[in-house]
């Protein structure tokens, strides 16, 4: 291990990837000073803006992250500062002994098919951000005066989107969904939601716990065609995967007993369909799908197409990071270019920016701890000036950095504004947050 005394680290991004690096540094290099940057006033990335509002239990991990910051005097949270705009990587690398880039992968992958630019076609980051009050997507303006919506993909994000579209206001009363979103969802005449996988039930990316929730909705039924659900997983799967997959197949078979139309909304879970064109004029009027088959796990188009009438499409097909000038980028994978977490001397990557948008919140822990070990082992050379130099730079550039106390004040205001039993009523713009703090 390198000498950690008086070393300083900048972590850019306060989502799970960045927060587990902070936690690892506290444990392994307690002498090190740590500044955690975020472009928003609000910390914790996907925990606030990505995790579904009806999964409040999942969001509770933010309490652990908050403790990491408040219980360790060597850590500062610096919100409202954007890398690539307010500060460059070169600025940070000149100030801190190490920089960890952990600003996530929040940009939607594209289908790359005709019609994707029509009104009412959204990527999941945008759509989820809209109902989660993310300042970037508050004004997304989906038109929910529709009777059919198609969700492309069968990962957990697709399940989140289908479920939130099917929930009642009563079911969402204990959540922090945006008021404007639940009002629009409730007022919508939406009847049919299709969630479509291009491969089959054996390959579907959702997990069983999330799938099961679709079978327990108050005013929506999830349906699936039993004839496409195999009785059991292929024999060549290893034992652990077989058990996991068997549970998913059993859940799907259970859902196949549901009847379309028996409740206000129906979620049609479909497989073996790949989108080829989004139909309509300016707006979506339908989607053309091509039937597929799966060979050796690969999706093979059959040439046979069918149309689904719908007026909204939400693609939940994964996401990629933003390329920032001066930071090496792997265009193909949509992540920062790195070797085992090392981007350049003294610069490292963590979280989805490093691995791509896969895995659970917990997956970040192990990975961030490994990156932290590497970083500490490479502390070398003369000490850099550290956090005070950032304060000087912020003053010189007239930045408006916010502290963790500022965030806690914003949090209190949001909790105060909530109507019981909702946990909080989120601000949806940075301006509102700053006004709440009496800052401009």
Binding site for ligand NAP (CB under 6 A): 111, 152-158, 160, 197-199, 203, 205, 210, 274, 299, 316-318, 357-360
**SS3 for 41?**
coil
Distance of closest approach, residue 274 Cβ to ligand NAP, in angstroms: 6
- Among 381, 40, 271, which residue's Cα sits nearest to residue 18? 40
Distance of closest approach, residue 198 Cβ to ligand NAP, in angstroms: 4
Nearer to ligand NAP, 129 or 197 (CB): 197
**SS3 for 199?**
coil
Distance of closest approach, residue 206 Cβ to ligand NAP, in angstroms: 7
Distance of closest approach, residue 170 Cβ to ligand NAP, in angstroms: 22
The answer to whether the CB of 38 falls within 8 A of the CB of 101 is no
- DSSP string spanning 113-141? -TTTTSBTEEEHHHHHHHHTT-TTTTT--
Distance of closest approach, residue 197 Cβ to ligand NAP, in angstroms: 5
**Longest alpha-carbon distance in the chain:** 70
Residue with tokens 């697709």: 158
Nearer to ligand NAP, 19 or 434 (CB): 19
Question: Roughly how many angstroms between the first and final C-alpha of the chain, as a whole number?
Answer: 44
Distance of closest approach, residue 101 Cβ to ligand NAP, in angstroms: 19
Nearer to ligand NAP, 35 or 210 (CB): 210
CB atoms within 10 A of CB 95: 22
In sequence order, what are the beta bridge partners of 30? none
**SS3 for 216?**
coil
In sequence order, what are the beta bridge partners of 98? 9
Measured between alpha carbons, how far is 217 from 184 in angstroms, rounded to an integer? 18
Distance of closest approach, residue 358 Cβ to ligand NAP, in angstroms: 4
CB neighbour burial string for 116-138, b if at least 16 within 10 angstroms, e if fewer: bebebbbbbbbbbbbbbbbbbbb
Nearer to ligand NAP, 111 or 399 (CB): 111
Distance of closest approach, residue 217 Cβ to ligand NAP, in angstroms: 16
Nearer to ligand NAP, 184 or 313 (CB): 313
Nearer to ligand NAP, 118 or 342 (CB): 118
Point out the residue whose Cβ comes nearest to ligand NAP: 155
Nearer to ligand NAP, 147 or 241 (CB): 241
Kindly list the strands in the beta sheet with 265-270, ordered across the sheet, starting from the edge strand earlier in the chain: 121-123, 312-315, 148-152, 192-196, 265-270, 220-224
Nearer to ligand NAP, 203 or 277 (CB): 203
Distance of closest approach, residue 209 Cβ to ligand NAP, in angstroms: 7
Name, in order, each residue with C-beta under 8 angstroms of 171's C-beta and a sequence gap of 6 or more: 54, 217, 218
- CA 197 from chain center: how many Å? 19
Structure tokens at 246: 């068997």
- CA 158 from chain center: how many Å? 12
Nearer to ligand NAP, 55 or 342 (CB): 55
Nearer to ligand NAP, 35 or 290 (CB): 290
CB atoms within 10 A of CB 410: 22
Measured between alpha carbons, how far is 150 from 116 in angstroms, rounded to an integer? 13
Nearer to ligand NAP, 199 or 425 (CB): 199
Distance of closest approach, residue 27 Cβ to ligand NAP, in angstroms: 26
Structure tokens at 76: 């500062």
- Between helices 156-166 and 124-131, what is the axis angle to 10°? 40
Distance of closest approach, residue 138 Cβ to ligand NAP, in angstroms: 21
């Amino acid at each position: 291990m390198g000498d950690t005394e008086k070393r300083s680290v900048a972590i850019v991004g306060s989502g799970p990837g960045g927060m587990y690096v902070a936690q690892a540094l506290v444990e392994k290099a307690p002498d090190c000073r740590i500044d955690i940057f975020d472009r928003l006033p609000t910390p914790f990335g996907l925990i606030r803006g990505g995790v579904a509002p009806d999964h409040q239990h999942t969001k509770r991990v933010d309490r652990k992250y908050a403790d990491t910051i408040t219980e360790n005097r060597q850590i500062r949270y610096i919100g409202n500062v954007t890398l690539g705009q307010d500060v460059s990587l070169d600025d940070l690398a000149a100030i801190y002994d190490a920089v960890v880039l952990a600003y996530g992968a929040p940009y939607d992958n594209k289908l790359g098919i005709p019609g994707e630019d029509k009104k009412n076609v959204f990527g999941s980051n945008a759509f989820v951000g809209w109902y989660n009050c993310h300042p970037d997507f508050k004004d997304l303006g989906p038109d929910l005066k529709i009777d059919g919506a198609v969700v492309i993909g069968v990962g957990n994000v697709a399940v989140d989107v289908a479920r939130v579209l099917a929930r009642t206001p009563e079911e969402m009363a204990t959540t922090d969904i945006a008021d404007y979103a639940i009002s629009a969802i409730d007022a919508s005449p939406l009847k049919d939601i299709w969630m479509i996988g291009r491969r089959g039930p054996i390959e579907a990316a959702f997990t069983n716990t999330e799938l099961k929730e679709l079978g327990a909705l108050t005013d929506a039924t999830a349906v699936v065609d039993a004839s496409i659900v195999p009785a059991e997983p292929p024999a060549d799967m290893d034992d652990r995967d077989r058990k996991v997959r068997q549970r998913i197949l059993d859940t799907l078979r259970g859902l196949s007993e549901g009847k379309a139309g028996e409740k206000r909304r129906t979620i049609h879970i479909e497989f073996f369909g790949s989108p080829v064109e989004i139909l309509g004029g300016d707006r979506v009027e339908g989607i053309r799908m091509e039937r597929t088959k799966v060979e050796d796990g690969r999706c093979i188009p059959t040439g046979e197409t069918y149309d689904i009438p719908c007026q909204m499409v939400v693609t939940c097909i994964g996401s990629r990071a933003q390329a920032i000038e001066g930071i090496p980028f792997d265009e193909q994978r949509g992540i920062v270019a790195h070797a085992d977490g090392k981007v350049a001397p003294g610069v490292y990557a963590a979280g989805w920016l490093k691995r791509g948008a896969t895995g659970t919140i917990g997956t970040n822990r192990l990975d961030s701890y490994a990156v932290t070990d590497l970083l500490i082992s490479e502390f070398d050379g003369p000490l850099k000036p550290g956090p005070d130099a950032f304060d000087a730079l912020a003053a010189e550039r007239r930045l408006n950095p916010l502290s963790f106390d500022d965030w806690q004040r914003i949090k209190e205001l949001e909790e105060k504004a909530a109507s019981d039993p909702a946990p909080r009523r989120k601000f949806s713009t940075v301006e509102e947050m700053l006004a709440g703090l009496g800052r401009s």
